[in-house]
Amino acid sequence: MQTSIPDPKRIGMVSLGCPKALVDSERILTRLRADGYSMSPDYDGADVVIVNTCGFLDSAKEESLAAIGEAIAENGRVIVTGCMGEDADTIRAAHPQVLAVTGAHQYEQVVEAVHEAAPPAQGPFVDLIPQPSEADIKLTPRHYSYLKISEGCNHSCAFCIIPDLRGKLASRRVDAVLLEAQKLVAAGTKELLVISQDTSAYGVDTRHEAREWPRGSGEQMRAHMTDLARALGQLDTGDGTPPWVRLHYVYPYPHVDQVIPLMAEGLLTPYLDIPFQHAAPSVLKRMKRPANEAKVLERLKSWREICPDIAIRSSFVVGFPGETEDDFAYLLDWLEEAQLDRVGAFRFEPVEGAQANALPDHVPEELKEERFARVMELTEKISAAKLSAKVGRTLPVIIDEVGEADEDGDIGATGRSQADAPEIDGAVYLRDVPASLKAGDIVNVTVEDSDAHDLFGVIA
């Protein structure tokens, strides 16, 4: 009698929110893959659908509830996890059909819920199949990967509930982070995007505990941002070159000054993502954030002297409770002087549980819109000038996508310079690329033109 191997149960995944949540989704799917599940690209083929939610803003919660509703309508068997999972009552009130609700980075509980809803296929044939490695499941393209170095946050910003959702700072062991990075690079990653809630604080909770690295070497490596960054920049992609290493969510603590020389040496991508949020001292005080904007301007100048090509990205909140016209004018003047390369702006939005909700003098919505438009107009002008200055230069560009040949046989491609993080910054559009070009290639590009956000060029 012929024995057939049972078909594996199939899992669908909807991942919302920030890159940190995307890493959580990858880890959940990796665990389920190791348990014998396969992945479904659509609702119809899934035995159960996991929705990884975002709960940072009320608008994000609405998007999460809508995604849960869509999954229920299309599939019917839905497990909810992620940041909004901490508010299980709201989820169940809106969608009582959900099978289970778990909170952020609760991997074990999600896997248990999936096992209960769709038990994995078992048997002597299936159980003898070698399990895949942890690097097998990626939700990003093969050539770049998010590397999460810690979870949680020790700050108590008035507009934020991240510590309530994800807890206090919990740093990963430095050898575990580096081993994961090493595996990712060996598997084809050309760009590592270092993420956390507060990258600068990495290792503070463990008193920068040292671990042996490289393993078997007898040498010790501290769990500290600068030590980790230097080690990441010394990895080898296989062709004798290091990966691009891009630092996100970097609070401007004094020791951040130490990573700028690493950028000048080529060990780190010359890029810093710093969440300034505002510049006016009175607003920063109400936000419960450090009000050292003048010193920051001095440090930006110093960083640019050490590494002239450094790109600074940041985000700002307009319309925070009590923000006056003088406060807003201060922010505009600060931005004019700071000349940041990439800027995102957000209108203040109350978040359930945030301290800012109880503050007096909330800014009217129409005034928020006006201030938002003025910030974007100014920062777009700054961006356009900075990009225009790159016309004629030759820059390294990592390729994200190669198009199909047009009717004349010409092929275009889309990539990013070192000043551009995926999905949040601009792009470099290339013309007349060779058919052999592929995603993940890093090529030198001569910039021919620019606009307010993007560059246009040709391979040098």
DSSP 3-state assignment of 400? strand
- With the CA atoms of 259, 261, 262 and 266 taken in that order, what torsion angle do they form, in degrees rounded to the nearest 10? 140
Q: How confident is the model at residue 215 (pLDDT cuts 50, 70, 90)?
A: confident
φ, ψ of residue 176 in degrees (nearest 5): -70, -40
* Helices (H), ranges, 57-200: 58-74, 88-94, 107-117, 124-127, 162-166, 174-186
Cβ contact 238:188 at 8 Å? no
Greater confidence (26 vs 418) lies with 418
The pLDDT value given to residue 291: 58
Cite the beta strand spans of 239-354 per DSSP E.
Answer: 244-247, 271-273, 311-318, 342-347
Q: How confident is the model at residue 219 (pLDDT cuts 50, 70, 90)?
A: very high
> Does 153 appear as a known binding residue?
yes
> Does 157 appear as a known binding residue?
yes
Report the distance separating Cα 228 and Cα 247, nearest Å.
Answer: 11
Percent of the chain with pLDDT over 90: 65
Q: How confident is the model at residue 131 (pLDDT cuts 50, 70, 90)?
A: very low
DSSP 3-state assignment of 300? helix
Q: What is the mean pLDDT of the chain?
A: 89
Q: How far is CA 342 from the centre of its chain?
A: 15
Residue 91, token pair as written in the block? 């989820």
| Average pLDDT rounded to a whole number, residues 387-414 | 94
Cβ contact 27:6 at 8 Å? no
The pLDDT value given to residue 290: 66
| Average pLDDT rounded to a whole number, residues 431-441 | 94
Q: Count other C-beta atoms under 10 Å from residue 150's C-beta.
A: 24
The pLDDT value given to residue 123: 45
DSSP 3-state assignment of 431? coil
The CATH superfamily assigned to 394-459 is Nucleic acid-binding proteins (2.40.50.140)
The ranges of the chain annotated as CATH 3.40.50.12160 are 10-127
* Strands 10-15 vs 48-53: parallel, antiparallel or unpaired: parallel
> Does 83 appear as a known binding residue?
yes
Q: How confident is the model at residue 6 (pLDDT cuts 50, 70, 90)?
A: low
Considering the four listed CATH numbers 3.80.30.20, 3.90.180.10, 3.40.50.2300, 3.40.980.10, the one that applies to the domain covering 144-388 is 3.80.30.20
Q: How confident is the model at residue 268 (pLDDT cuts 50, 70, 90)?
A: very high
The pLDDT value given to residue 385: 97
Architecture of domain 10-127: 3-Layer(aba) Sandwich (3.40)
The pLDDT value given to residue 136: 53
State which amino acid sits at residue 74: E
The ranges of the chain annotated as CATH 2.40.50.140 are 394-459
Instruction: Please provide the DSSP assignment of 180-249 as one string.
Output: HHHHHHHTT--EEEEE-S-GGGTTTTTTS-EEESSTTS--EEES-HHHHHHHHTT---SSS-PPEEEE-S
Residue 451: CB partners within 8 Å, gap ≥ 6? 384, 387
| Average pLDDT rounded to a whole number, residues 208-220 | 92
Report the distance separating Cα 300 and Cα 107, nearest Å.
Answer: 40
Residue 48 burial by CB count (10 A; 0-12/13-18/19+): exposed, middle or buried?
Answer: buried
The ranges of the chain annotated as CATH 3.80.30.20 are 144-388
Residue 173, token pair as written in the block? 């062991």
Nearest to 386 by CA among 316, 329, 455, 307: 455
The pLDDT value given to residue 137: 67
For residue 129, pLDDT beyond 50: no
Report the distance separating Cα 58 and Cα 238, nearest Å.
Answer: 45
The pTM score is: 0.81
The pLDDT value given to residue 138: 72
Report the distance separating Cα 211 and Cα 24, nearest Å.
Answer: 24
